[in-house]
């Protein structure tokens, strides 16, 4: 038997003001994005903002549906929009934030497994990692470099693209 250990790493900042200007601005854009959240069922609003290499900002927010599985997370709304409209302009960073009137959020909200799998595909397509910036309310800010620090056992089967 061999015991393996996998380390992941991320940086924690006390507040948005500790970020550099570009990342701070992207977090504000994520907060702007969640204003278009359609979340009458969960009452949990999520906003995502992508900063592309060109400086263009792409927005996403969670879009729910009365037929629950038909909805989509903010991150995938933004990432699929990028893939459909700006696939040659690499994603440098994605900021994600959330708000709800139901309870206080005191720490960042992390992405679901499906969004992480989609993020992995984006990194593979553009051949570079995406900086992820997560925050909520007045809580700390987590900055994570690349999918490998979020989903170390991601599904990544090279043979599917070489057959
Ligand atoms: Zn998700």
Q: What DSSP string runs through 61-81? A: E-B--SSGGG-B-HHHHHHHH
Ligand 1 center–CA 20 separation, angstroms: 26
The secondary element (H helix, E strand) that includes residue 162 is: helix 159-162
CATH fold label, 11-162: Cytidine Deaminase; domain 2 (3.40.140)
pTM of the model: 0.94
Backbone angles phi, psi at 155, to 5 degrees: -75, 115
Ligand 1 center–CA 72 separation, angstroms: 7
Choose, from 75, 104, 148, 158, the residue flagged as catalytic: 75
Helices (H), 14-158: 21-33, 74-85, 113-126
pLDDT in the model for residue 163: 56
Which is more confidently placed, 160 or 89? Answer: 89
pLDDT tens string 131-161? 999 999 999 999 999 998 999 888 777 778 7
Ligand 1 center–CA 146 separation, angstroms: 16
Question: Could you tell me which residues come within 8 angstroms of residue 80 by beta carbon, excluding any fewer than 6 positions away?
Answer: 72, 118
Break the chain into its structural domains and give their ranges. Answer: 11-162
pLDDT tens string 96-145? 999 999 999 999 999 999 999 999 999 999 999 999 999 999 999 999 99
Ligand 1 center–CA 116 separation, angstroms: 7
| Mean local confidence (pLDDT), 63-81 | 97
> Catalytic site residue 64?
no
């Amino acid at each position: 038997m061999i015991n393996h250990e996998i380390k992941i790493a991320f940086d924690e900042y006390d507040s948005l003001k500790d970020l550099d200007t570009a990342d701070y601005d992207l977090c504000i854009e994520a907060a702007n994005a969640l204003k278009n959240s359609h979340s009458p069922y969960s009452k949990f609003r999520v906003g995502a903002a992508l900063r592309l290499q060109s400086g263009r900002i792409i927005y996403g927010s969670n879009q729910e549906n009365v037929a629950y599985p038909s909805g989509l997370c903010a991150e995938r709304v933004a990432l699929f929009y990028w893939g459909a409209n700006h696939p040659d302009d690499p994603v440098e960073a994605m900021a994600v934030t959330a708000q709800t009137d139901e309870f206080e959020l005191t720490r960042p909200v992390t992405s679901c497994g499906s969004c992480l799998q989609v993020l992995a595909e984006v990194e593979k397509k553009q051949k570079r990692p995406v900086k992820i910036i997560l925050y909520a309310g007045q809580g700390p800010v987590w900055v994570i470099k690349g999918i490998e620090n979020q989903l170390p056992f991601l599904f990544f089967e090279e043979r599917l693209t070489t057959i």
